[in-house]
Structure 1
Amino acid sequence: MRGRHFALVQTHFHAPAEHGIDGKRYPLEGHFVFRAPDGRLAVVAVLYRENAGNKQFAAIVKAARRDHAVALPVFDAAALMPHDIDHYYHYLGSLTTPPLSENVEWYVLADPVDLSRDDIAEFTRLYAHNARQPQPLNGRPLLEYKD
């Protein structure tokens, strides 16, 4: 992330999305949580829209069981990301779930990823309303990057 080294430590999803772009809120959002060697956290947020299916997300939905960890035979984080990751929004905020840690670097990717209607519906059935409402910026700068 901008020349610094972070390792992926967790991925989870929220329905509906916790972020919006230009007033549009998506049915699902993925959070890819990264930790730097010094403990600093960064989250890459991916917005998902209803359209074509995604094999990696379909496998996640198939394995999903509320409150049970299920190992996936293969997890390909790149398959859950948009092809263009050079357009994103960046701000400093907090985690959206406990412990609500502050000073988290957020990178919200501008281009949504397609998921099937059935997979979104099944995830939402299992994890309905597991999202925090969008929060005000409260004076924090929001930067937009386009490469």
Structure 2
Amino acid sequence: MSRMKAFFLEISFLLLTSSYAHDSIKYGYQGGNGADKWGSLSSDFSLCSQGKQQSPINISKNTTIYDPNLKQAPRDYVLTNATLINNGIHILLKYDQGAGNLVLDGKKYAMTQMVWHSPSEHTIDGQSFPVELQLIHESDDNHIAVVAILYQFGSHDAFLLQIQDKLEQLAKDKCTDNQEARIPVGVIQTRALERRSRKYFCYNGSLTTPPCTEGVTWIILGKVREMTKEQASSLAAPLSADYKNNARPVQPINGCTIQLYDELHNAKKTASNKSN
């Protein structure tokens, strides 16, 4: 990886996830620095209250638009070293280098990190889920694309099983106002995250944390996955009580178009065309 590419990845990481950026202005999810106050915490956060394409949103299936031009969004991740981080607000997994690519409309987006939110930030037909995992990707021209995976309670999540002991260790470390808690986790198998999705929702939105930057492409996978209640608890355990619930409330749609990719719909249409 070139020095310039590494530089941009690090800058993006700070922009997306650091709770101590912007002159150490720390945001929260309730109280005086809660989500409804973000826009007033700093002029840098103005989009959080004034933006017109903010995330997350509620996805109403009845109002989504099936787009036959949408393609499968393949993800080809690679094995690379990662670091588990408690920044005081979220639990993150940051890759030392890009961990492979997401391809959208022929453009490659490198996965640089992931972050868990509890409960889910996005909702489907008003339904919230216990956990949402967001896979953060960035293209060479600094465009951000996020793949969101929703989780309900059920069987073990194979990906989390790989870092269970590290999460327990992270819960024992203290995260102060001036320092993140970081634990190297080495190489993690990403196969569980690459599972092909036959359906996804796509829209243009924003970061769900300050500075709430807009122009972010969101892909919400239609398949809801599972993790155990114990695994969800282990993700929240390292965080203080004020941040165990770290989901931004859904934002106004403001005329946002939510596109639907549906492989089954495509197959039916192809079969119908062949029969005619």
Mark yes or no: TM-score above 0.5.
yes
Counterpart of 1:130?
Answer: 246
97 and 54 in structure 1: CA distance in 2 versus 1, 3 angstrom threshold: same
Structure-1 separation of matches of 2:163 and 2:118: 14
Counterpart of 1:73?
Answer: 186
Structure-1 separation of matches of 2:189 and 2:210: 26
Give unpaired runs (5+ residues) of structure 2: 1-103, 264-276
* Count, aligned residues: 146
Structure-2 separation of matches of 1:129 and 1:7: 28
46 and 68 in structure 1: CA distance in 2 versus 1, 3 angstrom threshold: same
Structure-2 separation of matches of 1:97 and 1:144: 25
Please provide the CA RMSD for this pair: 1.7
User: Does residue 1:15 correspond to 2:131, yes or no?
Assistant: no
TM-score (norm 1): 0.89
TM-score (norm 2): 0.49
CA deviation map 1:81-137 (0-9, x unaligned): 5x3413100110000012311100000001011111211122234341111112221
CA deviation map 1:33-64 (0-9, x unaligned): 10001000000000011100023213334323
Counterpart of 1:42?
Answer: 145
More helix by share: 2
Structure with max Cα Rg: 2
SS in 2 for 1:38: coil
Structure-1 separation of matches of 2:225 and 2:106: 25
Counterpart of 1:139?
Answer: 255
Give unpaired runs (5+ residues) of structure 1: none
% identical aligned pairs: 30
What amino acid does structure 2 have at the position aligned with 1:116? T
What amino acid does structure 2 have at the position aligned with 1:6? Y
